[in-house]
Structure formats: structure tokens, C-alpha cells
Structure 1
Amino acid sequence: MEHPSGSPEFYHPLALDFIRVFELEVGNISDPVVGRLVPQAIDGEPYEAVSYVWGDRWNRRDISVDGLAVSVTANLHGALTAFRPRPSVNSAGRDPGTGQEQRQVRRLWIDAVCINQGDLSERTSQVQLMARIFAGASHVLAWLGWEEDEGSQQHVQSAINFIHDFMKDSEAGLREARILLHHHDVTEPAERLVDLSEDDRQRFEAQARIWESVKAFFEIEYFHRTWVVQELGLAQEATLYSALKPHDRAKPVHLELHSVSWPLVGRFARFLDYSGALLVTHLGLRSWVVHHTWMAWETEEDGAPRWDFLTTMHWVRIHGVTDARDRVYSLLGHPLAVLDGDVIVKPDYTITRGVIYTRLAANIIKKTKNLHVVNFVDHEYGPYLGARDWDPQDDSRMPSWVPDWHSINRTAPMHYPIDAAENEDAEISIEGGIEGSEGTLLPHLLVRGWIVDEITAVSRRMETIDFPVSNAIRERAKDNPFWLDHLWEFLAPPQSFNNCDALAVLETLSLALSFGTMEEDQPVSNFEPRQTLEEHRRSFAACILEYHELLHGMLKASGLEDDSTLPARSLYDSLPVEAQGELRRRAQGTTSERFLQSMTWQAMCRVVYRTASGHVGIGSRITLPGDLVCRVRGSPLLMTLRRMQAGPKMKMDTKPNTDTGCYAYIGPTIVPARQQKHTGDSERFNEQAVHFRIL
């Protein structure tokens, strides 16, 4: 949030649980924006709340507040211009006694005007009320911004109309859109479409145009702002608005607002993620950002939140925010943002994000005695452990086991229904302070568990654009063409497989990539569409065969058997004859689409690895050979840890026979062969017991 350029004297102190409401006066499109601030109890007179994004900070306009000129961003000025009441055109707006025009106002709450954010104390207290402000508003008005007139290309209006129509029969709409997947890219020249019939060409061009508008719609800056998540999620009613930008303000203009309800947009984005992931990735739609906003407030049938507070924070890490501490503060209205009746962390703008995030993680671990929070660590780069002291000048300083909610989020939360170990452990402890005092050591996480295996080889990072099986042109354009065949070369170096071994390794790989299936005794995915194990096996087999046929077709057409970008042979060709026959039987009558849909978001930006014992796993993109796969009490997932040397600055009070080493936390991981029922105590595999000190 920002503050207007007026002096602090513009505001008067607010009483406890009081807010200011901006009474916006009537005006035409070219009139100055005029209004006044009225303090009231938060549950007093009805008001509407404006949800918007600041936009260009240097592009500003003046408005009049209580007779004083206040500078606000052009985007906020546009929202006030669009939302203010219009002058009455008939007697309905006149006082029946005097015949004089009545004074009309629209009562709005707007952060930049209603909060004196030059006053840190007021800003902090109002942030604590933010959830109540938006939940108490009669209506949340979400301003998407002006739409520029580009001739016939009015993307927002086109997208809004399309979303209304599409959601009347979403399955039919998706079937029609799949023509974009099965033919050449939208950006390729028209002559590339000569193989299409005239009807199909027209369908293709019509779909290309409308999905271009949908793409532009989801790229609107508004959807990518962190505070929007709570503002929309808590609203009793929320509507998204845009309007064609008036260029000649001197002339009277009829301002037509284009609108769509937030629930409809949320359901549209959800449907695309769960049923059209291939279309989303192929077209580069950013609908998943909107879906993450929607997911933050999803509920079960009984009304309980579907996602806990930490998962919700992970969903919205991709959203933009000016102040990294607001990653936490902007979600404190979530129903599960409480521990033992208290808010999970209190707003404090005097300390760094590293201290806030560490306090959050430490408080959760201490109170729950589980390690669920560390499974949201998603390092962009390898954890830096050269300096292990708190530094109030370093906003990013925090332990390796604390999620940096401000880092770029590229992955979906990892989950697996078969727990790797007990969900709680009373012996979990944290050594060191979490106050962030300069020169004191960062806290260490002390846990106990077992070393499962050592990682010996790591694949290239997988990207969503790698996954679809399409055609020779698109495959050659990929950074990682024939990813599945290359992955198999990496996992299964030339060696003799018998039929059972090959199918077993393939199944382990497929379950790792998709985080399992919906089978009762198999891993269960929280992502739709969920498949039974039999459906999963059939669709995965179809994926193998589709890549095999594409590769053979390319080699036959071009004669480029020596092309180094192509695999030496397809996955299918490397298998024993009996395994090939089984895959053909499974793939009969199905396609790869369900498998690719189920694994796209889970596998994106992760790596597959092989361990010293030959196990297959999937984990963090910063995984390196030599890292350890570990089973830790209190963590439902396996962990990847990296051995560290305890330097002289550690000053550890190490107890004999307790700590066997210091480790950096790399991230959660899945090894399907080692996550089976009744193996949480690790006795079945005779794994090495260790007490871990995680820095």
C-alpha cells in the first residue's frame, strides 16, 4: 500500500476500531474528483470498498479531499472517475420540497485515501483491520483499469463476454479450443494452415482471436497483486470492472462499464487449470495466477477451508507486492491464520521480512510439533550459509529451513498421502533466538530421523512447455525436446531390463511425476482431474507411445539420426519386447492427455533424480549429486538435505552422541518406492538413524 503526498496533518487520529470512509461526490467524466473523509466505527454505516492496483507511481492526478488537493496515481483517479455517481437527468435526483438537486455521494473505502500511511502506527493498526474492512463492505468494486481503444481489439470487453458464454458449457468450449493444440501455433504464418479445411481454418482463426483476448485479460496487472487475494476472497460480493478510456474529456461521454463477477472469473480460471492445463501452457495463459487467488478461499462441502494457511501463502507467492512483509500481513484475514486463538503473526513494519518469516515458521513448529512448514521451502538458488548471524540490514537473511515467501514461486505444493514418518515429534526443537538481534546466531532446527539414500544423478529442470506431445515443428522449438525419452536415458543407462523391472521403474517414475493417483491404496493427488491407477497406467503408456511415434516420424522424414538434440532411441524402443506389448495393450483407445494434465503443475520446475540404490525421485530444482534423501520424524514428506561443515562461528553447544552433522535444507522430495504404508519407522529398510542440525 502507498500514501498520498498530502501532509500527515491532513488526517485526524482514529479511535479504536474506527476507519475513514471517502464520500465521493457526483460528477461527469471531465469533472474534478471531489469528496470528503468521514470517520466511523468499522461496523457503522454501509460502505463499499475499492480494490485496485496503484500502477505507475509517477503518473499522478489531483483529487480534492475536504477541499485540499491530494495527489493519487492515475489508476486510482480512473477508478474514482468510473465509480462516482453521475448527475441526475430527471427529477428523481431532486429534493421534493425545494426542487433543488440533492447532493449524491458514494461511500467508498480506499486504502490510499482513507489511511494515513505516513503514520506507521496508524498504518499498522489499519492493516490489522483490513480483513474486517473488506469482509464488512457491502460490495467490493475491483477496478481493472482503463482499456485503451485499439480499433476492434478491445480485449477486456471481448474476454468478459467470452467468459460469460464459455462457462455456460465449459466442456464444449474447451473442445472447441483444442483446435489450437492440434494444429500449428497461433503466431505462425497463415500458409502453415493450408492443411485445414475452410471450416477448420475459420474455427482456428476465431479461437485464436478470442484466446488472444483471454490471454491479455489475465495479464492485467490487477490480478497479480498480493493484497487482491484477501480483498476478493473476503468480499460478500465482488465485481470486476473496466471501461473504454475516454480520450476527449472536454466532450460529454457516456461511460459504459464492462463488468464480470469475481466468482465467475475464479471458476473459469479453476476449470482451465484442472481441465485445460495443456491449453494454458501452450498459449502462455496466466490464468493460474487468478486460480491461485480463488484457491486461497476454497472450502470443503462442510464449509471448512480446503487449504491451510501455509498452503494458501504458497499459492499466492507468485503475486506481486511492494513490501515483502505484506506476503504474510495481506493474508491475516484467512480463517486459519490463527494458532491457539491468536493471529499467527502480528504486523510489525520495524523488522525485516527474514525475521517475520522466521518467527512465523518457528511459532508454527513449536506449537504444532510438526515440520509441515518446512515443506514450503522453495529456494531459487542454493542456500547461502557463509554468514550465519542475524543482520538487520539484510532483508533476506533467514535459516535454510524457513520458507522465503518473497522468493519466486515456481512449483506447486508437494504432497503425498502416504506419510514418510510420524506427523508429530515432541523432540523437535529450535536452538537460538528469533528476535533478529544483530550479531546473534540464526536459529537451528534440531530434528531426528534417518538417511534414506544419497542422490547420484540429477536431470535437467522440467518446464511445462516440454510436456505436450505435438508435432515436429513444436518439438524442435523446445529447449528440452523429447523430455520423457531423454529422462529415461538418464534414469536407465544402457543395461538389461527384464519385463518386470522395466514396468516397475516406469510406474515409479510416473507416480513421482504426478504425485500419485486416486486409488485407495495408492498416492492421492489433490489436483484434478484425479485418475485411478488403471487410468493413470493407460494414459502414461499412451504418452510413451505418442513420443515414440513422433520421434520415428521425424527421423524417417528428415534422416537426421545423428541429430544430438534427439534421443538415441525412444523410451519404447529401449524396453523388452514383453514390456512393449504391455504398453501397447494399456494405451489402446486412450491418449496421453489425462496423464499430462495430472502431472503438468506438479512436475514443473522440478528435477528427477536417481539415488545410489537406483531409486527414482522428484525434488527441488537446486538438488545436486551428493545431497541426501532423509526421513525425518514430524515431516509427512521426505527431505533433501545437504551436508555442511560446522565452522568456528557456529558456537554450538553440541551434546555428545546427539548431533552427527550439520545440514542445509534443500526442499521436500518424493521417492515412491520408499513411501509405502507402515514404513514410517524406517525399520523395513534398515536406514541410518541420525540427529540432524539444520542450519
Structure 2
Amino acid sequence: MGLDKYRYRPLSKNEIRVLKPLSNDGLSFDLVHVNLDDQPQFSALSYVWGVEVFDRSIKLGESNFPVTVNLHDAFQAISSYQKRREDAISQTNHLWIDAICINQEDIPERNTQVPLMARIYRQATQVLAWLGKPEFQADVELGVQMMEGFLQGFFESQLKSKVPESSPTTIDESFEIKQIEVDQLSYLSSVSDNLEQYIDVEGSKIHNAWVGIFDIWRSRFWSRAWILQEATVPENDSYWPHYAGRYGNIRIESKVAFLCGSSSTNFQALLMAAQIANLLARRTPKVPEEVKIPVWTGYEQAYRLRMRRIEELGLDLSLLPVLQTIRNSQSTNPRDKVYAGLGIIPPSGIDGKEERVAVDYAKSVYEVYFDVPKFCLTKIGHELDFLGYTRKMKEGELEPSERIGQLLPTWVPNWDEPLYITPMPKDEVFYNATRDSKVSASIEGNNLSVKGVQCDAIKTVMSPLTMDHFTQLKMELNIEYEGEELEDVFFRALCMDIQVDGYGRVVGKYNKEDFSTVEWPWNGKVDEVPLDLQQRLQWGGDGRRSLCLTERGYIGLVPASARDNDLICGFFGSKVLHIVRDDENRHEYIGECFVDHLMDGKVMNWVENGALEVETFVLGLEMNVDSDDTRGECLDGRVIANRMTEKCSPS
């Protein structure tokens, strides 16, 4: 980055650097030190680094400091935005930008500044999210105006219902953000019967406005890992619920301002547009092609995380779920798939204030990803939760190879690889497969040693579902199912005996009544079971899990990569069960599983009765014994385990 042209001064504890403007062109600055403990006033930029080609520059003191085209454009947009705003927020013109305010060539400084980033964005007076320059600025401006119209209609409808005619028209502090989320849903239902007003022919203002809105949603910004920490920061107390303004001219204050070229918008406007676009896509036959493709999913992911942070859902904001959200995003440095999530965890949350994965960019990606299971093993009651975030490839799928994939055992989550399966809930209210047993697990080198028992095995993986499987179920289900309807057993297994809400959060146990409106396509005659039953009910396992029948006659839901004869194991201290594969006296870790009737501690009854033998499973990479590399060479990407041994045997 040409850092030889600018000499950074060392930072003291809790100090950061901010850019102080020296001119009105938005391109000349001093770099000054401030201490976060002093509550300094500044704005923070959230943006996409992009291709690191530094062919533009800004003035930093007496030096020319090289920057990318995207960052140069952001400086100009910020200057324009601040000039056209009159409020005190936008006039806080000191600016924090990671690429400049952190010495990127000083790894020790990065290691201390990156953990401060969450605090930086929380304390910033405003977060300016730069989405980039749009291809057609006029369309984006039309889109912003239309989104403001959506919000205008919403707030007018709410004021009419909440504020008496004789009352002042200012929205007071009782009009809170959480209530606004609920009110928006009711408002959308009221406009859904008149959706035609939101579409028009190609070339019309309305059509071009949608093109502009979709330009905003297509920005690479939404796919970036770091924005989930930066742009989802909850508002300060002074920001919400201040939705103040005059009737007919509602103005919304938001800590995060999204800049797209010379236009700007906010979370609430984007949310309303996404909701209406969803309605159009589902209910209106003649819609613009752009509306048929849900390109707003990146934005919605950020919005959902923002709402969870506002609501301070401690369990939802523990480390692993946050990393799961980030893993489908993009990052130039795969280490950031872990580090970008650390600041999202609230200091008072389940992971504690000081108990965090240490940031160290000198470590290899391999080591950084290993740090997550090591950290999890220190979390009492959640030691083995990380196993739910691993993925064993199905037959025919490519083994992970880019960047770090082939070096990682599959008991270590590969955060650089998407995972489209929801880990099983670990709350004992829903599952407690090994009851109050204590975890006995440790990591040595590439190996995870964990005590447990083999409690069952897969007899038949029922994928794709056929009539023969129903015949088998009817004949071989355990006697414990006597008196139950197969329909109920089937749905309970598909749902893993739980209910989830619209945010994917577990809210209760399976309730048969919830499926009263689902057509059961089997009338009891095995030869009339439709062949596409599994496809029609694919939502139950999300396409990443398959039903199975076990050797003991139970029905279960297992990873799609599971096979007949795979072993079902209970690891001590784990609320759920796990699949491992027997391979020449070795065991390969496959993933978590649900087995009906075995999730409530029955396994431990068998242990106490002496029916099951306690074993130590050692999971690790299969080593090439001829290699001099002490870390080992992965031969085929598999993870194996040897029972009752302390090291991996040669293949």
C-alpha cells in the first residue's frame, strides 16, 4: 500500500486513528489519535475492499496515500452526503476507515486493533455503508424515492391508528423499533390486495425504480463477511426509538446510512422494499424479471442479524451461530471468517467478555480454524457443539480443496465452506441424549479424543424414499412404537421432534396439530405410497438430511452423506447423537443425528445397566507415515478415528 510514504505513530491502549478533514474536497486529511475511553465523535466506514489495486490517492498530511478506486469513490460520496445533510450526525466529519487507520503491514497492531473494531462501530456516531457506484444513478435515485414512499405510507397508516386527530403529530418514544417490525407485517397484509400499484411496464418510473432498488441489493457489499459486524450494529440509545417528524413528512433517523453513488437510504426502507418485492414475486403474475429472483437475500441476512443484536438474544449470538451466519459471506482472507464474527458477540453474552478466540494474523488459516474447537472445549455445557457445524461430503461431491479444505479434519468446521444444514439444537429442553454425563474430550495435534458409546447403527438410509421403505418400517419398527400412527412417527422424525419460528429459532417440541393441514398421501396401503413423498416433504430435512431405520428398529434423521451400517454413537456430554463410519477398524466422523426414542437419556440407562461399553474415540487426519511433515499429509480428505488408541494408525 505504499506505506513507506507515511510513517505511522504507535497507538496506546484503546487508542485509534481517525481522519480529520483538511479541505472541502473530501480527499485531504490529517491522521490523528483519539482514545475510545474519551468518547470521541467520529463516523466509521463499512465498505468492500475489493481488488487491491491502489491506483488512486488521497492526501494524508504531506504524503500521497494510495487507495483503491472503490475507496476513492467512497470519500467523494461521503463528502457529498455530509454537505447535503443538516443534522449534527452527518457533521461529525472525523472518519475511521480500517484500511488507513490501521497499519495493515504491522501484524501486532492488527492483532490489537481488530478486536477493537466492534467497539469502534458501536461508539461511532454514524456508520456509513458504501455500496459502490451504481451503473444507473438515476434509477437508484428513483428507487430510493419509491422506498421512502413505502415508508411514508406505512408511518401515515400507523399514525392514523395510534395518534388521535387532536394529538401532536410527532411520533413519541413509545413508537419503538420492535413494535415497528410487528406493525410492518400488518401493514403489508393491508397492501397485499392492491399490489398492482407497485408494478408497471418496462421503461416506466416504477419499473426503473425497481431496477434501481435491485442495483442496491446486488452490491457486493452484502456478500462481505465484515459487514455483518459493521452494518448490523444496533443503534445507540440516542437513536432509537427516535422516529421523529411531522405528519405527512416522516423522517427516520438511523445510525447506519447506506450510500449508493449520490443516493442514500436506511435499513427500514430496504426492509419495506424487500417485503413488497417478496409479495410481488409470490402473488403477482406480471412482475419485472428482477423481482422474480430474490437478490435481496444478502441484505435480509444482515437485517435478521441486526434485529437479533437489537433484541440481545444471548444464545443466538454465541460464537458458533454467528460464525455460521458469516461462513456464507465473502472474505479475501479466510481467517476473517472467524475474526469478523468475534465483535458481534455481546460482552454480556454466553461467551463472556474476555473469553474470546485470540486474533492472530500470524497464524495459518489451519491454526485459526483449529482455535474454534479449542475455544469451544472450554465452554461448559457446550464443549462439543462445534461438531454440528461440520460437513461430511456426499458421494460424488468434490472434496474441499481451495485455500485450506484438504488439511482440515472434518471434525473441525471449515468456515471457508458453505454449510446449508442447520445444526441440531443443544438445549436439554429438547434433547439430552447422554443426560448429565460429563464431557471427556481433548485435542492433541490433529486428533480429537472423546469418550462415548456406540448405541445403535443405521440399517437402511431411506433416500430416495420408496414403497419398500414403508414396507420395512411397518415390519421392523421397534415395539416401542406400538399404538402410534406411522404418520405421527414420520413427521416427528422429519422435524427432529422440534418446532422452529420464522427466524429458525427452536420454540418448542413437535406438535402433531401443527401438521393437521399437511396432506398425508398414504391411506395405509403400502402399495399406494407415492414415490415422490420425500420430495413433497423435503422441507422437513432441508434436503441435507435423510430418514433412516436403525438396527434397533428406531426411525431417525441423519446427514445425507450417511450410509447403511454407519454407527450411531453417544459422546459423553453431548445433547445429541453422532454418526461415525467403520472403515477397517477406524471411524470417520459423519455428523450429528436424531434418533427417535434415543434423545432423552435412554443411552445412559443402557450404560448403567452394562449393556453398552464405554469407548474412547480418537478422531484425526489420516496420516502419510512417510511424510516428514509433523502436521501430517492428508491422503484423501477423510477424517478417521481409532478406538482405544492415542494416535492415528497408518493407512
2:393 match? 381
1:576: how far off?
7.0
Work out the CA distance in 2 between the residues paired with 1:503 and 1:277. 41
Distance 1:577 1:677, change over 3 A: farther
2:221 match? 222
Contact 1:59-1:74 at 8 Å conserved across structures = yes
Identity of aligned residues (%): 21
Contact 2:222-2:302 at 8 Å conserved across structures = no
1:150: how far off?
7.2
Distance 1:300 1:451, change over 3 A: farther
Distance 1:113 1:302, change over 3 A: closer
2:33 match? 39
2:622 match? none
1:125 match? 112
What whole-Å deviation, never above 9, does each CA across 1:591-647 have from its counterpart, x for those lacking one? xxxx98xx84962433333434554333323223332222222111111112244xx
Counterparts of residues 428-439 of structure 1 (less than 5 Å)? 428-430=440-442, 432-433=444-445
What secondary structure sits across from 1:342 in the alignment? coil
Distance 1:492 1:138, change over 3 A: same
Candidates 615, 618, 621, aligned match of 1:691: 615
Work out the CA distance in 2 between the residues paired with 1:88 and 1:242. 14
Work out the CA distance in 2 between the residues paired with 1:617 and 1:216. 44
Higher relative contact order (CA 8 A, sep 6+): 1
What secondary structure sits across from 1:343 in the alignment? coil
1:617 match? 556
Candidates 289, 304, 320, aligned match of 1:310: 320
1:356 match? 368
Letter of the 1:666 counterpart:
I
Candidates 335, 356, 359, aligned match of 2:346: 335
Work out the CA distance in 2 between the residues paired with 1:679 and 1:59. 61
Work out the CA distance in 2 between the residues paired with 1:488 and 1:278. 32
Distance 1:524 1:21, change over 3 A: closer
Work out the CA distance in 2 between the residues paired with 1:409 and 1:689. 33
Q: Does 1:540 align with 2:550?
A: no
Counterparts of residues 419-568 of structure 1 (less than 5 Å)? 419-422=431-434, 425-426=437-438, 428-430=440-442, 432-433=444-445, 442-459=446-463, 487=465, 489=467, 491-492=469-470, 504-518=485-499, 527=505, 533-541=511-519, 544=520
Distance 1:123 1:160, change over 3 A: farther
CA RMSD for the aligned pairs? 4.8
1:324 match? 334
2:3 match? 6
Contact 1:325-1:349 at 8 Å conserved across structures = yes
What whole-Å deviation, never above 9, does each CA across 1:257-293 have from its counterpart, x for those lacking one? 3211x367579879999x9998999844452663366
Q: Which moved more, 1:619-628 or 1:393-402?
A: 393-402
1:217: how far off?
4.1
1:675: how far off?
2.7
Work out the CA distance in 2 between the residues paired with 1:380 and 1:289. 29
Q: Does 1:63 align with 2:58?
A: yes
Contact 1:17-1:42 at 8 Å conserved across structures = yes
Q: How many residues align?
A: 539
User: TM-score, normalised to structure 1's length?
Assistant: 0.65
Letter of the 2:188 counterpart:
G
Q: Does 1:138 align with 2:125?
A: yes
1:303: how far off?
6.8
1:573: how far off?
6.2
1:258 match? 264
1:173 match? 188
Distance 1:501 1:217, change over 3 A: farther
Candidates 561, 572, 581, aligned match of 2:522: 572
1:75: how far off?
2.0
Work out the CA distance in 2 between the residues paired with 1:201 and 1:268. 15
Q: Does 1:80 align with 2:95?
A: no
Work out the CA distance in 1 between the residues paired with 2:98 and 2:334. 18
1:502: how far off?
11
Contact 1:162-1:210 at 8 Å conserved across structures = no
2:257 match? 240
What secondary structure sits across from 1:55 in the alignment? coil
Work out the CA distance in 2 between the residues paired with 1:676 and 1:277. 43
Candidates 398, 401, 409, aligned match of 2:408: 398
Distance 1:120 1:505, change over 3 A: same
Distance 1:77 1:518, change over 3 A: same
1:472 match? none
What secondary structure sits across from 1:121 in the alignment? helix
1:643 match? 582
Letter of the 2:222 counterpart:
F
Contact 1:226-1:319 at 8 Å conserved across structures = yes
Distance 1:301 1:292, change over 3 A: closer
Contact 2:53-2:68 at 8 Å conserved across structures = yes
What secondary structure sits across from 1:355 in the alignment? helix
1:413 match? 423
Q: Does 1:15 align with 2:28?
A: no
Candidates 116, 134, 152, aligned match of 2:103: 116
2:637 match? none
What secondary structure sits across from 1:665 in the alignment? strand
Contact 2:456-2:552 at 8 Å conserved across structures = no
Work out the CA distance in 2 between the residues paired with 1:515 and 1:525. 17
What whole-Å deviation, never above 9, does each CA across 1:373-418 have from its counterpart, x for those lacking one? 23333326269xxxxxxxxx96753333222222212122322643
Please, which runs of 5 or more residues in structure 2 have no aligned partner? 155-180, 237-254, 284-289, 396-402, 531-535, 620-651
Letter of the 2:57 counterpart:
D
Contact 1:497-1:575 at 8 Å conserved across structures = no
Contact 1:144-1:241 at 8 Å conserved across structures = yes
1:38: how far off?
0.8
Work out the CA distance in 2 between the residues paired with 1:600 and 1:268. 27
User: TM-score, normalised to structure 2's length?
Assistant: 0.69
1:160: how far off?
3.9
1:360: how far off?
2.5
What whole-Å deviation, never above 9, does each CA across 1:172-227 have from its counterpart, x for those lacking one? 536866x9xxxxxxxxxxxxxxxxxxx99887768999877666544321122111
Work out the CA distance in 2 between the residues paired with 1:223 and 1:509. 39
1:291 match? 301
What secondary structure sits across from 1:84 in the alignment? helix
What secondary structure sits across from 1:298 in the alignment? helix
Candidates 563, 568, 573, aligned match of 1:634: 573
Letter of the 2:21 counterpart:
L
1:21: how far off?
0.3
